[in-house]
Amino acid sequence: MTNKSFDVVGVGLNATDTLLRVPHFPAFGGKAPFHGEQYSVGGQVASAVVTCAKLGLKTKYIGTVGNDERGRLQLQSLRDAGIDISHVYERNCPNQSAYIIIDEATGERTVFWHFADGLALSPDEIGEEHITCASLLHIDGHHTAAVERAARIAKAFGIPVTVDVDTIYAGFDQVLPYVDYLVASSEFPSRWTGIEDPFHALETIRKRFGMKVAAMTLGAHGALALSENGFVYSPAFVVNCVDTTGAGDVFHGAFCYAVLQQMPMAEALGFSNAMAALNCTAVGARGGIANLEEARHLLSRGERRSQTEIAKRAS
């Protein structure tokens, strides 16, 4: 690591969810009982930063929270994780929230979310010193103008930028030139480029923006990445899946750790897959965030899904 104040600064989304566990998701127009209801803190960048903290990194989160109970729960969770929240801005509106229905038969979830306009983060709230204090910047696609400013500052000072993006955001083409490590959802590369083949889509994005790595998570199938050394595919791990909520966010936090540790790409993807898988073994977006020892134990077991066709094309 370096002598910076923080290893990772994250700028982006947080959310406080209500989880409902059901024995199975009903057909459209149907009914089903639910077995439990609980609040759960999450959000793309906030959960990634918490993951970094769990792995022993010094972290800072920049974003907004509502002045309601959900916002207070989010702030307390970040404090409890040891994260610097000196530039989290409270707004006079409800916090970002979601209702998440978890199918207990599979662990898969369905999400209904709401984001109040008042939660928008302004570029003026991103000071140069808020970014230059870190060894790495992690962002998402929300608050597009603010994350563009953060990424532009990072690029100017030689600070690597990782991004978690799951859909098309207006103006996001202004952010991508400052990104070093894109780790997108499985749908994003094809939607962005209009190219169905994921290998060609990742090649197109990487070439256009000149980033070091263009990658995509594949859920239960693992992750695929393209760097200067070519494609690397890493299959997912076999675990007892309870809830997939937050798995991608934890993957991104682990990937930030891997970048700072200068792991080879295959190792970085395997480590990130392991952390994501372990989070799926408990309920909630941050319910199963593992430590280094737990991740290494899963890696040593090597129980991974076989995806011969993807691996063959990646090689």
Instruction: Kindly report, residue by residue over 186-218, the tens digit of the pLDDT.
Output: 999 999 999 999 999 999 999 999 999 999 999
121 pLDDT exceeds 60?
yes
| pLDDT tens digits for range 249-276 | 999 999 999 999 999 999 999 999 999 9
Question: What is the SS3 string spanning the chain?
Answer: CCCCCEEEEEECCCEEEEEEEECCCCCCCCCCCCCEEEEEEECHHHHHHHHHHHCCCCEEEEEEEECCHHHHHHHHHHHHCCCECCCEEEECCCCCEEEEEEECCCCCEEEEEECCHHHCCCHHHCCHHHHHCEEEEEEECCCHHHHHHHHHHHHHCCCCEEEEECCCCCCHHHCHHHCCEEEECCCHHHHHHCCCCHHHHHHHHHHHHCCCEEEEECHHHCEEEEECCEEEEECCECCCCCCCCCHHHHHHHHHHHHHHCCCCHHHHHHHHHHHHHHHCCCCCCCCCCCCHHHHHHHHHHCCECCCHHHHHHHC
More confident residue, 102 or 215: 215
| Residue 35 pLDDT level (bands cut at 50, 70, 90) | confident
Mean pLDDT of the chain: 94
What does pTM read for this prediction? 0.92
Domains, in order of start, for the chain:
6-314 (3.40.1190.20)
| Residue 83 pLDDT level (bands cut at 50, 70, 90) | very high
pLDDT value of residue 3: 77
